[in-house]
Amino acid sequence: MVVNVTVWGENVHERREPDVRERYPDGMHGTIAAGLERVLGDRVKVGTATLEAPSHGLTAEVLAATDVLTWWGHLAHEDVDDAVVRRVQERVLAGMGLVVLHSGHYSKIFRALMGTTCTVNWRDDGERELVWAVEPGHPIAAGVPVPLVIEQQETYGEPFGIPAPDELVFVSSFSGGDVFRSGCCYRRGLGKVFYFSPGDQSYPVYHHPDVQQVLANAVLWAAPQHPVTTPLTNHNRPRPSP
């Protein structure tokens, strides 16, 4: 069964900042998409969509054909149309998988699904991040070294303003001493959500093969087990027959 993935990227840093463009000539979304294809081959069919497209590239048709959506945003969270956010949320609650990346913690869609501030403590100091699997038997940790080493990264630190994850897979440390729940699984409605914090425009994190492995694992984990139709509704249900 092929998993249809749409990789969504804000694509603002990449257009504005030469160093980011050099690091990610195809956009971060392009690198993320290529990484999924490299690891998963014909188990996935990957498309991309960006902010500047009509409906941010997330029309009803695109979403209806998407099993798993990945989301990277940062500068332009507020520019994402509320109607698109509602459509994505509805699709997640109907069963689509969602993988939220790095600064996407503060995206409208993640905040809408979590109900909390989704805030972090951060600094940009080029620290080393070590990503530790605390559930090494989890499918998202399969084939990932313990620890996964990222030489330079933006630092995210606790407390992270999220609901307790349904499954906590990774916890990171940074050389400055901060810790962060860097891999968090949620069930929401009929869908699954995974948040993964490594990844930033200023560092080549999405080229890292182990990070690509995590993202590939996350896509398989988040893929729906049932046909995706509609979310649950309020329903006047008769008695089960006696």
Query: Where do contacts with a copy of itself occur on this chain (CB under 8 A)?
Result: 89, 93, 95, 106, 112-117, 119-123, 125, 128, 130, 132-139, 142, 146-147, 149, 157-161, 163-164, 166-168, 171-179, 181, 186-192, 224-226, 231-240
Nearer to a copy of itself, 2 or 15 (CB): 2
CA atoms of 48 and 11, how far apart (whole Å): 11
3-state DSSP of 92-156 = HHCCCEEEEEHHHHHCHHHHHHHCCCCCCEEEEEEEEEEEEECCCCCHHHCCCCCCEEEEEEEEE
Q: How far is the CB of 34 from a copy of itself (least distance, A)?
A: 25
Cross-strand pairs, 174: 129
Q: How far is the CB of 125 from a copy of itself (least distance, A)?
A: 7
Q: How far is the CB of 41 from a copy of itself (least distance, A)?
A: 16
Q: How far is the CB of 3 from a copy of itself (least distance, A)?
A: 15
Nearer to a copy of itself, 31 or 66 (CB): 66
Q: Which two tokens stand for residue 55?
A: 């409906």
Residue 182 and residue 150 in contact, taking contact as beta carbons nearer than 8 Å: no
CA atoms of 96 and 142, how far apart (whole Å): 22
Nearer to a copy of itself, 15 or 123 (CB): 123
C-alpha radius of gyration, the chain, whole number: 18
Residue 8 and residue 88 in contact, taking contact as beta carbons nearer than 8 Å: no
What are phi and psi for residue 194, nearest 5 degrees?
-125, 130
Nearer to a copy of itself, 33 or 216 (CB): 216
Helix or strand or coil: residue 20? helix
Q: How far is the CB of 229 from a copy of itself (least distance, A)?
A: 11
**Residues whose CB is less than 8 angstroms from the CB of residue 177 and which lie 6 or more positions away in sequence, other chains included:** none
Q: How far is the CB of 103 from a copy of itself (least distance, A)?
A: 10
Tokens 């971060």 label which residue?
28
Nearer to a copy of itself, 47 or 202 (CB): 202
Nearer to a copy of itself, 204 or 224 (CB): 224
Cross-strand pairs, 167: 185
Q: How far is the CB of 151 from a copy of itself (least distance, A)?
A: 11
Nearer to a copy of itself, 33 or 40 (CB): 40
